[in-house]
Amino acid sequence: MTQIYNIYYTKLSIIFFSFLSLLEFTNFHKLKYKSFQIKTRKFIKNFEYHNYQREYLTKKIKKYAGYELTSNQAYFLNGIIRKFKPKHCLELGVSRGGSSILILNALKDINNSFLVSLDINENCYNNKSEKTGYAVKKYFPELAINKWQLFTGRQPHIFLSKLKMKFDFLFLDTVHYAPGEMINLLEVLPFLEENTIIVLHDIIYHFPSLKYYNQKDIKIHPSQIYLISSLMGEKIILTSKNNNIDNIGAVILYPNQEKYYLNYFLLLLSPWNYIPNDTFIDELIKFVKTYYKKEIYISLFNRSIEENKLYIKKYELLSRQFK
């Protein structure tokens, strides 16, 4: 009798939690989105995006949104959105929600526009006492009404596969260690419209970060600059007054990105800083088989894992020898 009860209880638990999961995604209907077609986005050489409609960034917005972005970078992100007026925006990497505030503020008067924000962490990576994205509802709740949905705790492709939506804007700012953003790109590509704008923060993060690490323990990787260099599209790079390259850039993707998928899978053969856990790897292999299909992509992904497992193991052995 006890065994029958346990089986019955287990089945009820599965049904209950499945229902909760369904509710989480059903709530997304509040965003009232419509299908749309993107007009061809033309790259304008030397257009000053960081000066375009700067008045949208009030002192309050800059105060609470400028956690990770400088004022110049915030103006750049604002200008890109105000110029091209994307409708379906996606953000990977939320932290406190500073960039979410900037994006939502730039979208506030664009009809039928919204932002979906995804983060693997349920709590801020650098402040575990706060929930990921807390700053949006704490300081700017009016921006989130019918414009914002936040999903946390899983990898992006898990949510995107269930949402089954297309996006025309992506802000990518996640781990900055390989294979982080390289895998993130593969997770979102099947859900991007043609001519999507991708903004990448910390494209030269690896240079200023060097001074914070002991040379024997460097775990930084130029993943963002690899990514923006490899993306097939028109590049928009922000420079400062003295012509230095700033730490943010954008790409307007060329149409028919399927032609360039091989480029992005080849990026995975660069050295990694960490190996994702087995559960994530198994989920990602299923995802790649479903959305990319070609055997060469699966082969490249599997080979990159095998080689990097050996590489990291050897690196760890050598590190211990030199300590």
Q: Specify the pTM.
A: 0.86
Q: pLDDT category, 66, cuts 50, 70, 90?
A: confident
Q: Please list the alpha-helical segments (H only) found in the chain.
A: 2-26, 59-65, 71-84, 98-107, 134-139, 141-144, 156-163, 180-188, 206-209, 223-230, 261-266, 278-291, 295-322
Query: What pLDDT is recorded for position 220?
Result: 60
Burial group, residue 35, by CB count within 10 angstroms (0-12, 13-18, 19+): exposed
Look over the chain and give the mean of its residue pLDDT values, rounded to a whole number: 85
Query: What pLDDT is recorded for position 140?
Result: 96
Domain limits of the chain?
30-273
Query: What pLDDT is recorded for position 318?
Result: 55
What are 184's strand-pairing partners? none
Could you check whether the bond before residue 141 is cis, i.e. omega within 30 degrees of 0? no
pLDDT tens sequence across 134-193: 999 999 999 999 999 999 999 999 999 999 899 999 999 998 889 999 999 999 999 999
CATH code for the part of the protein at 30-273: 3.40.50.150
pLDDT tens sequence across 141-156: 999 999 999 999 999 9
- How far is the C-alpha of 105 from the C-alpha of 78, rounded, in Å? 8
- How far is the C-alpha of 183 from the C-alpha of 288, rounded, in Å? 10
One-letter identity of residue 304: S
Top-confidence range, 34-38, 118-122, 202-206: 118-122
41-70 average pLDDT score: 88
Cα of 217 vs its chain's centroid, Å: 26
pLDDT tens sequence across 211-228: 555 454 455 677 888 999
At residue 268, what are phi and psi to the nearest 5 degrees?
-65, -15
pLDDT tens sequence across 37-48: 677 788 888 899
Cβ-contact 120, 86 below 8 angstroms = no
Query: What pLDDT is recorded for position 27?
Result: 54
- How far is the C-alpha of 266 from the C-alpha of 263, rounded, in Å? 5
